[in-house]
Amino acid sequence: MSGGDVGRDPGDGNATNGRWSSQDIPSLVGKTAVVTGANSGIGYFTALELARAGAHVIIACRDRERALDAVERMRKVVPDANVEFDLLDLASLESIRTFSDTYRSSHAALDILVNNAGVMAIPTRTLTADGFEMQFGTNHLGHFALTGRLLDCLLASAAPRVVTVSSGVTMWASLDLENLQGERRYRPMRAYGQSKLANLLFMVELDRRARVRGLVSVGVHPGAAITNLQRFAFGRLVQFAGQSAEQGALPSLFAASAAGISGGSYFGPCRWFGLMGAPTRASIPQRARDEKLALAVWERSEALTGVKVAIHAETGGPSGQS
């Protein structure tokens, strides 16, 4: 099946017929992509396959040695891969600012941003450099700030895409605006679910705001993919019933590259209740479609990060600065 076939009917979740693979990625020559957390797991294979398709890929990671090792491994697999590393710690607003300023100083546009990095089920309440609960701060607020600071570069692209990686746990997750940081009560998986639901609310609200400017905001979840994310939860279960990180990257790759995808779409694996298989359209949980909640999370995120993500249609320019 070709990438062109995928693009015929992006509204049909069965458009891939359960057969789409990384071999169906169209040429991405001339495009630039940033993938967060790409030194391992799903992010690694997302960056690798985007580079194989010809994109210039920047892997944005907090650990320099692991990132440089990932770049070396990618170049062994794809010798002509145009891939590089830049330091980014999503648990630090200062690091996000530095990364974004560096990118903006050397690139006029950004075609693909994959908000992939994340942490899960940290046993005890831990804080980021800015005092945010680590899961909410890294998984949601970090990516919110990063997207905002790169928004002008995204809108300078002819066909920009922002792919936000969420999780299947959003089917049961809830979000408490009065306990976003887990101060009153901290439960590891509840905090993780809240951060991943915030990812989806952000994806939908970004689509609502930026669609008129041609930006495609899409969400994905990887199903049960075997990565180091399961250090604290579900490790044995995923090892037993999960799929590889390479397979788990397929929804991200589909969302980042397939033709004709509509903003506000959500993709995940097609088999075993969304746990594994080729990418297909997934159901967005009702809570993630709550426009009032999405707006409240957006405004709270702006206040917490100091990054105002506004698109001024009348002037044609974005504002993603503090």
pLDDT of residue 310: 74
192 is catalytic: yes
Q: Mind listing the pLDDT tens digit for each residue in 168-177? A: 888 889 999 9
Residue pair 43/37 in contact (Cβ under 8 Å)? The answer is yes
Residue 318 pLDDT exceeds 70:
no
pLDDT in tens, 10-31: 344 445 566 899 999 999 999 9
Listed ranges 179-188, 205-214, 218-227, 232-241; the one with the highest mean pLDDT? 205-214
| Fold category of 30-319 in CATH | Rossmann fold (3.40.50)
* pLDDT > 90 fraction of the chain, expressed in percent and rounded: 73
pLDDT at 234 over 60: no
More confident of the two residues 46 and 172: 46
Question: Which string of b and e fits 69-82 if b means at least 16 CB within 10 Å?
Answer: ebbeebeeebeebe
Which of the following is catalytic: 44, 103, 186, 192?
Answer: 192
Q: What pTM was estimated for this model as a whole?
A: 0.89
